[in-house]
Amino acid sequence: MGLPGAGATVRVLALGGFLSCVAPPGSGRDDAGSQEVDPSSLPPSVVTSQLADAVTGVPYGDRLLARDGVPPYAWAPAGLPPGWLSVDSATGELRGLPRGDAGTLSVGVVVTDAAARSGSKELALRLLSCTPGSTLVCQQASGTTCLVGLLACQPNGTWSDCDAGTPSASASGCGAACAACGPDADRCLPGGAECACGPSSGPCAPGRSCCADSAGGARCVDLAGDPLACGACGTRCAAPPNADPTCDTGVCGATCKGGYAACDGRTLDGCEVDLRSDVNHCGACPVSCSGSPRGAATCDGGTCDLQCNASYPQHCGTGDCRAYDVANCGGCGVACSNPGANAGAPAGCAGQNACSYACNPGWGDCNAGTDGCETDLTFTPTRCGSCGNDCVAAGWDGGCVNGQCARCYQCPDNPSGGMRTTCCGGHCQLNIADQIYDCQPCGTLIDGGC
């Protein structure tokens, strides 16, 4: 009998004298763990560690995988078995019709990235022969489905035709070409029609790849823009301090979080500057805030400001500190009010709303208010001569006369008789005409004075 029909794809492994199918190159992928480095800074390397077995006379196929560097990759042979095995430069697929004696062959390959950096590897390829009485699982396309059956090694040492009638359920062959699923795809859809990635209902969309996820399953990702699988499955972009990881055309990067910046121009080592509070980088790099004699420089919410000192305690807006003075006595820009009657212009400000005035002679600002000089110091007993001179409290019984505390006393007997006169804040003076003492304003000390 002849070999399997054209289009069949077979993977085999010798187990105890029998031949059995094995998975395609996905089982050889080395995803040891997430990388926390920029993969584009590394040269490319060959990930595949084990090639599928080949059987003499049975069409052979496998796929090489690479990581790191800058995709796309280019593949080239570096010592393939002569005459029957080839490598596709764009996809890394190995194809050929094995021939020759059974044994282990050495397969050398070189991968080159877009930056012209290379990596190479020597892989072992085991070549098996047909043993009479042995069987071999085979795959054969039928329409859009991959069917699975058995080959039998006949007494003459040739394989029988593939008796394939069962739809494939193995990720080693799916669909119309009995092709292997991607390196991390985990199943073939019922009926062997096509590969499915993880829990999805079908294969990944064009431009997306099937990658293992942290939960042990698989998912479809965009290797050009996914920070968790950037450029290759398993390449996880690092998250620097105060930054979020990014992936741009398969190269890891980082973007600063809101309010932060990398003023040294390097985001991959973090965004070290807080633009909201840094006086040397306030709001942007390198905006520097300046202090003044009125206050120290500060950065508040990305805007330069001043921390006002004791001599200029009023914070009147960004970068504006003011003292309490005539123009700002009631607050920022609020001048002393009109002093009112009996006062001159405001003379100063001792604190908020504490204006001082120059009073007219004989008047005083005794209520420290804004109504001017309201007290007549010449005749007010409790404010006599000054706001603090209280004649009543001091025991004077004659009130306030011309700014001085006075007493009351009785005049001498009238020569003409009659009730004696009492003077308060004045002095007794005899009226010659009627011989009666009258009270006269204090002046020359006569008859007892004031």
Mind listing the pLDDT tens digit for each residue in 275-299? 999 999 999 999 999 999 999 999 9
Q: What's the mean pLDDT when you consider all of the chain?
A: 82
Whether residue 36 is predicted with pLDDT greater than 60 in this model: the reply is yes
Clarify whether residues 28 and 130 are in a common domain: yes
Distances (CA, A) of 154 to 9, 157, 159, 405: 20, 5, 6, 145
Clarify whether residues 139 and 267 are in a common domain: no
**pLDDT, tens digit (0-9, with 9 covering 90-100), for 351-394:** 888 888 788 899 988 887 667 788 999 999 999 999 999 999 98
What pLDDT does residue 348 have?
Answer: 87
Cross-strand partners of 215:
none
Does 260 map to a domain?
A: yes
Whole-number percent of the chain with pLDDT over 90: 37
Clarify whether residues 150 and 253 are in a common domain: no
* Amino acid at the residue 108: G
Clarify whether residues 163 and 248 are in a common domain: no
Whether residue 108 is predicted with pLDDT greater than 90 in this model: the reply is yes
Write a three-state SS string for the chain: CCCCCCCCCCCEEEECCEEECCCCHHHHCCCCCCCCCCHHHCCCEECCCCCCEEECCCCEEEECCEECCCCCCEEEECCCCCCCEEECCCCCEEEECCCCCCEEEEEEEEEECCCCCEEEEEEEEEEECCCCCCEEEEEEEECCEEEEEEEEECCCCCECCCEEEEECCCCCCECCCCECCCCCCCEECCCCCCEECCCCCCCCCCCCEEEECCCCCEEEECCCCCCCCCCCCCCCCCCCCCEEEEEECCEEEEEECCCEECCCCCCCCCCCEECCCCCCCCCCCCCCCCCECCEEEEEECCEEEEEECCCCCEECCCCCEECCCHHHCCCCCCCCCCCCCCEEEEEEECCCCCEEEEECCCEECCCCCCCCCCEECCCCCCCCCCCCCCCCCCCCCCCEECCEECCEEECCCCCCCCCCCEEECEEEEEECCCCEEEEEECCCCCCCCC
Clarify whether residues 265 and 134 are in a common domain: no
Clarify whether residues 72 and 156 are in a common domain: yes
CATH number, residue 56: 2.60.40.10
Clarify whether residues 47 and 157 are in a common domain: yes
Does 83 map to a domain?
A: yes
Of 179, 99, 103, 80, whose CA–CA distance to 139 is shortest?
A: 179
Q: How many CB atoms lie within 10 A of CB 234?
A: 21
Clarify whether residues 29 and 132 are in a common domain: yes
Clarify whether residues 158 and 20 are in a common domain: yes
Does 155 map to a domain?
A: yes
**pLDDT, tens digit (0-9, with 9 covering 90-100), for 190-237:** 777 778 887 777 778 888 888 877 776 788 899 999 999 999 888 999
Whether residue 113 is predicted with pLDDT greater than 90 in this model: the reply is yes
Does 89 map to a domain?
A: yes
**pLDDT, tens digit (0-9, with 9 covering 90-100), for 163-192:** 888 888 777 788 888 877 766 566 777 777
Q: How many CB atoms lie within 10 A of CB 10?
A: 26
The residue segments making up the domain with residue 267 are: 243-273
Of 304, 234, 221, 227, whose CA–CA distance to 268 is shortest?
A: 227
Whether residue 10 is predicted with pLDDT greater than 70 in this model: the reply is no
Which residues are CB-neighbours of 270 under 8 A, at least 6 positions away?
240, 241, 242, 243, 254, 262
Does 176 map to a domain?
A: yes
* Amino acid at the residue 72: P
Does 237 map to a domain?
A: no
Clarify whether residues 153 and 57 are in a common domain: yes
Does 203 map to a domain?
A: no
Distance from the Cα of residue 159 to its chain's centroid: 65
* Amino acid at the residue 340: G
Does 415 map to a domain?
A: yes
Which of 188, 210, 229 is the last residue before a domain boundary?
188
**pLDDT, tens digit (0-9, with 9 covering 90-100), for 341-352:** 788 788 888 888
